[in-house]
Amino acid sequence: MSQTDQSDVSYSLDELSALVDIPKRTVRYYMQLGLLDRPDGHARGTRYRTRHLEQLLAIRKWQRAGLSLERIADLLASPENAQVPPKPRGRGSVEVVSRLVIDDGLELTLDPSRAGLGPEAVRELFNQVTIAYDQIRKKNEVKKNG
């Protein structure tokens, strides 16, 4: 189907909600929040287009990735929403961080999502930091005793 054909495709609310497997009530809620564009037409003539389908699929994808509706609204508002940049931290924000206790009084705290690191990369970073610390500590012991 060509792009002009796709833009001419329209759906009823029932058809749209069935296509994305989202209840009609949820579709309406997303419109109230401004996550989804208003449909074309009024009352029984209301039609949803391909852009509505794409918006709902993006919302569902990001929700499954664990993003809040507030964060999804930020992403939909930005033109480069293919990437999910970390949201700036604000007062009262809740974050999940990883903490490595290297030694008594020495810890490394990391927010993997903000750092762009997956679980394997976090483990590798922690291993390398521990190795580096041990080497530094040994050098200090030699200087101290030498």
* % of the chain at pLDDT higher than 70: 86
Helix axis angle for 13-20 and 50-64, nearest 10°, is 40
Could you tell me if residue 92 is inside a domain?
Answer: no
- Pair (73, 107) in one structural domain: no
Could you tell me if residue 28 is inside a domain?
Answer: yes
- Pair (69, 127) in one structural domain: no
Q: Is the pLDDT of residue 20 over 50?
A: yes
How many domains in the chain?
Answer: 2
How confident is the model at residue 7, as a pLDDT?
A: 55
Could you tell me if residue 47 is inside a domain?
Answer: yes
Sign of the Cα torsion 84, 89, 91, 95 reads positive
- For residue range 33-52, list pLDDT tens digits in order: 999 999 988 777 789 999 99
Q: Considering only residues 50 and 8, tell me which one the structure prediction assigns the higher pLDDT.
A: 50
Q: What are the residues whose beta carbons fall under 8 Å from the beta carbon of 33, sequence distance 6 or more?
A: 69, 73
Could you tell me if residue 86 is inside a domain?
Answer: no
Q: Which of 2-11, 64-73, 89-98 has the highest mean pLDDT?
A: 64-73
Task: Count Cα neighbours of 141 within 13 Å in the Cβ-side half-sphere.
Answer: 6
Q: Is the pLDDT of residue 95 over 80?
A: no
- Pair (21, 56) in one structural domain: yes
Could you tell me if residue 23 is inside a domain?
Answer: yes
- Pair (46, 107) in one structural domain: no
- Pair (72, 109) in one structural domain: no
- Pair (16, 70) in one structural domain: yes
- Pair (16, 73) in one structural domain: yes
- Pair (66, 110) in one structural domain: no
User: Which residues constitute the domain of residue 13?
Assistant: 3-77
Final residue before a domain boundary, out of 77, 110, 132: 77
pLDDT-derived band at 139 (thresholds 50, 70, 90) equals very high
Task: Count Cα neighbours of 138 within 13 Å in the Cβ-side half-sphere.
Answer: 6
Q: Is the pLDDT of residue 3 over 50?
A: no
Q: Is the pLDDT of residue 9 over 90?
A: no
The conformation of residue 92, written as its DSSP 8-state character, comes to T
How, if at all, do strands 48-49 and 98-103 pair? Answer: unpaired
How, if at all, do strands 10-11 and 106-110 pair? Answer: unpaired
pTM for the full predicted model: 0.52
